[in-house]
Amino acid sequence: MRRIRAGDSYSVLLVAIVVAYGMMAVLTTSQWHRTIEGAVFGVVLLLALHTSHIRGRWIQVAAVVVGAWILLNIVQSAAGEVFEGAGSVMSVLIVVTPLVVLSRILRHPQVNLETILGAICAYLLIGIAFATIYALMDHLGGAPFFAQGDTYDPVKFLYFSFIVLTTVGFGDLSPATDPGRVVVSLEALIGQIFLVTLVAGLVGNMGRLRSPSATGVEQPAAPDPADDDG
């Protein structure tokens, strides 16, 4: 617990992301199960921000957004409403979180195991962020996002997003509109650039100290020899 409170515990965050993702495959698509999944994922986002040293007012704002999202899901489930659209409340937070994680690991003064795991966490969160964008395009675009018809399901959007991010290639799902194809192409490019440049660069510099200019951390100035005269 002390390590989690201190931050930079990306090994814990990675486990939490995998568990949250796995829950979607295990639980059914009932409204209450979706509410549980939403609550768990909200906690994962807060953990990602906390371990990336987001403190004070910003983490409080994020906690309020997550709490409101969970409450909305509970109200919808209790009222028997269709589980649809509640994720819009969290969209901005979901998209911003991988950027926050990247900003933190790029400021590590030394590339270590937690830095590499942080990059993997950011990679997974990017896939989740694009899945959220696709779901919003499907919900707000007035037409199904997928060419295969109305398949609004969070699991399908996550599955499709990671297929695109890893550039495996389209199989049973593909985008139906030009805006969708543009965003899908962007995710595919990000997925390749991320692995080839960022992750490969971090692994190649494992254990090395990074320059203060690269991390943004100022080092104390060297003493002036003239101060010792006299």
The per-residue pLDDT string of the chain (230 residues; one tens digit each, 9 = 90 and over) reads 776 777 889 999 999 999 988 887 776 566 677 778 888 888 999 999 999 999 899 999 999 989 888 888 788 777 766 545 445 667 888 899 999 999 999 999 899 999 999 999 999 999 999 998 998 888 887 788 898 877 667 788 899 999 999 988 887 889 998 999 999 999 999 999 998 899 888 988 888 886 665 555 444 444 444 454 54
pTM of the model: 0.84
Q: How many domains does the chain have?
A: 1
Name the residue range of residue 91's domain. Answer: 2-208
d(C-alpha 30, C-alpha 18), whole Å: 21
In a domain, 145, yes or no: yes
Q: Which residues are within 8 A (CB) of 183 and not within 5 positions of it... i.e. 6 or more apart? A: 130, 133, 134, 137, 175
> For residue 229, is it within any domain?
no
| 227 within domain boundaries | no
Q: Is residue 167 part of a domain?
A: yes
Task: Say which residues have a Cβ less than 8 Å from residue 56's Cβ, sequence separation at least 6.
Answer: none
Q: Is residue 97 part of a domain?
A: yes
| Helix 10-26 vs helix 113-140: crossing angle, to nearest 10 | 40
DSSP 56-109: HHHHHHHHHHHHHHHHHHHHHHHHT--S-SGGGGGHHHHHHHHHHHHHHHTT-S
Q: Report if residue 70 sits inside a domain.
A: yes
| Residue 75, in any domain of the structure | yes
- Token reading at 112: 């270590």
